[in-house]
Structure 1
Amino acid sequence: MILYPSVDKLLDQVDSRYSLVMLAAKRAHELDDGAMPLLGEYTSEKNVGRALEEVEAGDLKISDTKKQ
């Protein structure tokens, strides 16, 4: 269960729980592979939690670009 950041605050940034899960998972994989962090300090020790903190801060968003 996610305690921080709260799901309600996260859903203010992302339109659905599915999108939130996919975004956090993809970003967590990027962090696992050595991507630069978007925040200076994190509360979470795990990369999934860190990805969710980036979403809450508004630094990580889903792009609107569509492939054609």
Structure 2
Amino acid sequence: MMLEPSIDDLQTKIKSKYTLVTIAAKRARQIRETEKVLVDNPKSNRYVGLALEEIMAEKLFVKEDSK
């Protein structure tokens, strides 16, 4: 089973694998509860896949702290 989008592609959007997994899991739970997806014509039929597609489409991102 291939993960689509790939981890390498996803890490161009969010550098930390830990942050990527955390955001995707949290968003997957939100999608499950609301059934609202931020991308048009998603390819995945699984909640985590939908969350990852949203990250690739730059609908989800990490706000950097300004120091």
Question: Are 1:3 and 2:3 counterparts?
Answer: yes
Aligned residue in 1 for 2:13: 13
Counterpart of 2:57 in structure 1: which amino acid? Answer: A
Q: Percent identity?
A: 38
Q: How many residues align?
A: 66
**Alignment RMSD:** 1.9
Unaligned runs of 5+ in 1: none
Structure 1 segments (4+ residues) deviating >4 Å:
none
TM-score under structure 1 length normalisation: 0.84
TM-score under structure 2 length normalisation: 0.86
Distance 2:46 2:3 in 1: 13
